[in-house]
């Protein structure tokens, strides 16, 4: 679980794009992943959205298939929003989900 403390404040004041530490899905997994969030979207068109990225950092293959789910939790650790994908090809780039910022409060 990746926690961003004081997210409401961060959304207004953040200058840097937060990135999680790297992780894998299991102890023997050679794939390394991280999460990145852009609280104000990518550009003016998406400024009212929170963009969440799943980044494939390192992998012995150039392409992998991954199944994943993003969940946003409130301060009580209750799921407020969730988005996911079934099995999907992931390259050494990212998968992006946008959450409408007005629905996060």
Task: State the CATH number of the domain containing residue 57.
Answer: 2.60.210.10
> 67 lies in a domain?
no
Residue 65, pLDDT score: 77
Residue 9, pLDDT score: 55
One digit per residue, the tens of pLDDT, for the chain of length 105 reads: 777 766 665 555 556 677 888 898 877 788 888 888 887 777 788 777 777 788 888 888 777 777 788 887 887 888 887 777 665 555 544 445 455 545 544
Q: Where are the beta strands (DSSP E) in 1-105?
A: 32-38, 49-58, 63-73, 79-91, 94-100
Q: How far apart are CA 34 and CA 20, in angstroms?
A: 6
Q: Would you state the structure tokens that stand for residue 67, as one six-digit string?
A: 């199944």
Domain enclosing residue 25, as ranges: 7-61+93-103
pTM: 0.66
Split into its structural domains, the chain has a count of 1
């Amino acid at each position: 679980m990746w926690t961003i403390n004081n997210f409401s404040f961060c959304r207004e004041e953040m200058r840097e794009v937060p990135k999680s530490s790297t992780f894998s899905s299991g102890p023997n997994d050679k794939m390394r992943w991280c999460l990145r969030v852009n609280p104000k979207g990518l550009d003016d068109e998406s400024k009212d959205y929170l963009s969440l990225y799943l980044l494939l950092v390192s992998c012995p293959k150039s392409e992998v298939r991954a199944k994943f789910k993003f969940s946003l939790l409130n301060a009580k650790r209750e799921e407020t929003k969730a988005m996911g994908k079934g099995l999907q090809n992931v390259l050494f780039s990212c998968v992006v989900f946008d959450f409408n910022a007005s629905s996060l409060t």
